[in-house]
Amino acid sequence: MDGIDKKVSRRKDRIIDRIVFLALASTALFLGLLYPLIIGSSLLKESLLAIERFGVLGFILSDVWDPVRELFGGLPAIVGTIISTFIASAIAIPVCIGVAIFITELSPKPLKPVFTTAVELLGAIPSIIYGMWGFFVLSPVMAEKVEPFLQEMLMDVPVLWRLVDGVPTGIDVLTSSLVLSIMIIPFMATIVKDAFEMTPQLLKEAGYGMGATKWEVIKDVVIPYAFPGIVGGAILSVGRALGETMAVAFLTGNVHQIPKSLLDQFTTITVTIANEFTEADTDLYLSSLYFLALILFVMSFMLLVFSKFFIFKRLEKRWKVTGI
């Protein structure tokens, strides 16, 4: 009797085993396959109308955005997204490396967790707060102090004066990129710092043992070792800047023009969608907004997949060879 009972219970367990496996596998399948497919296909389906009307290249290369005449082109928003992301990353990346050096190599040991927590906490602030602060506090300061100052400084410099040509309003490329850069600093600094901390103490000590100065150890030991982490952090932050909406929603002016100077109003893909989605009164208008969303999706997804499957694979190999 006892043996039969045991057999029955083992059989029950085996059945539960199958069920648990199937349940877990289906959630993984949903998340890893179905979810991206749903996103891609529904964006594609919704943007078909605009694709048929303007064509893919026709939409991407046209800079007309005229809801009244129902002519839509994505160039200003795409260029705006790329420019603001580029400037923000150009500001943030060196700062993050500096912050990481400061936290890992310079700050006294008891203060390390304090700085680390501070940086992480600041990364937890919702992006709409950055946006609102930028709009009410930073933008007036930029318009009244910083931008006139820059104009005065660069007035007589050839070529560069064009960068700050125009009326300083504080609602422009410069302010938007600045707020974006502030927003991605904590995010990226955390990743870079973690990568720095992965460097084996032994390697660093070997450097010091050879008589290297602190900077030489950082430059020749820590940074090469942490390079994949730095690149990874940079790519993730670029991805975040690409898709950020609320931090810049108030600051671009949402004007569909390709900015010629840092003080021009402009727009990004996300800002266009956030501002115009609920106002889109025709199918073609809405479809064009979906097309923009699809372009953003492709841009950010490509960036990540590229980094994952190409850069990382390659760097990981190098990492394994050089890094013991």
Partner 1 sequence: MEGHRDLERSIKVRKVKSAFVLFLSFLTALYGIFWLFWILIDVFSKGFQYISPELILEDPAPPGEEGGGLRHAFVGHIIITSLATLMGVPIGIAAGVFFTEYGRFSRFAEFLRSMTDSLVSLPSIIVGTVVYAILVKPVGHFFGLSGSVALALLMLPVIAITTAQILKLVPDSLREAAYALGAFRWQVIKDVSLVAAKRGILTGVILGVARITGETAPLLFTSFNNNFTTYNVFEPMATLTVTIFIYALGPYEDWHRKAWAASLILTLGTLAFFILAKYVVSRKR
Rounded Cα distance, 286 and 270, in Å: 14
x/- mask, partner 1, residues 194-233, rule CB under 8 A, reads -------------------xxxx-x---------------
Binding map of partner 1 across residues 93-112, x = CB under 8 A, - = no contact: -xx-xxx-xxx-xx------
CA 277 centroid distance within chain: 22
Tokens, residue 279:
């106002």
Looking at residues 160 to 179 of the shown chain, list those that interact with partner 1 (rule: CB under 8 A): none
Query: Cβ of residue 159: shortest distance to partner 1, in angstroms?
Result: 27
When asked if residue 262 is in the footprint of partner 1 (CB under 8 A), the reply is no
Under the binding rule (CB under 8 A), the answer on residue 246 touching partner 1 is yes
Structure tokens, 143:
């318009």
Judge whether 294 and 43 are in contact, CB under 8 Å.
Answer: yes
- Cα distance between the two ends of the chain: 59
- Tokens describing residue 272: 């266009």
Q: What is the Cβ-side half-sphere exposure of residue 130, based on CA atoms within 13 angstroms?
A: 25
Based on DSSP, count helices (H) and strands (E) in the chain, helices before strands: 17, 2
Q: Report d(CA 312, CA 65) in Å as an integer.
A: 39
Residue with tokens 């502030």: 182
Binding-residue pattern over the window 116 to 135 for partner 1, x denoting contact by CB under 8 A: -xxxxxx-xxxxxxxxxx-x
Stretch that binds partner 1, among 25-33, 153-161, 162-170, 199-207 (CB under 8 A): 25-33
Which span (64-72, 155-163, 184-192, 202-210) binds partner 1, by CB under 8 A? 184-192
Among 249, 251, 262, 263, binds partner 1 (CB under 8 A): 249
Distance CA 207, CA 300 (A): 39
For residues 41 and 280, what is the distance between their CA atoms, to the nearest angstrom?
Answer: 21
Task: Provide, rounded to whole angstroms, the least separation between the CB of residue 191 and partner 1.
Answer: 12
CB of 71 to partner 1, least distance (A): 21
Q: How far is the CB of 62 from partner 1 (least distance, A)?
A: 21
* 42-101: contacts with partner 1 (CB under 8 A): 42-43, 45-46, 94-95, 97-99, 101
Nearer to partner 1, 39 or 163 (CB): 39
Of 173, 223, 234, 273, the residue at the interface with partner 1 (CB under 8 A) is: 273
Q: Does 313 bind partner 1 (CB under 8 A)?
A: no
Rounded Cα gap, residues 92 and 98, in angstroms: 10
- Which span (142-150, 152-160, 181-189, 258-266) binds partner 1, by CB under 8 A? 181-189
Which of 73, 76, 186, 229 is in the footprint of partner 1 by CB under 8 A?
186
Q: Which residue has the tokens 């400037």?
A: 87
Closest CA to 269 of 293, 301, 238, 298: 293
Task: Retrieve residue 277's tokens.
Answer: 């989605």
- C-alpha 165: how far from its chain's center? 28
**Residue closer to partner 1, measured from CB, 135 or 225:** 135
Residue 13 found at the interface with partner 1 (CB under 8 A): yes
The correct pick among 308, 314, 317, 318 for binding partner 1 (CB under 8 A) is 308
DSSP 86-144: HHHHHHHHHHHHHHHHIIIIIS-GGGHHHHHHHHHHHHTS-HHHHHHHIIIIIHHHIII
Which stretch in 40-48, 71-79, 198-206, 253-261 sits in contact with partner 1 by CB under 8 A?
A: 40-48
CB of 54 to partner 1, least distance (A): 19
- 242 binds partner 1, rule: CB under 8 A: yes
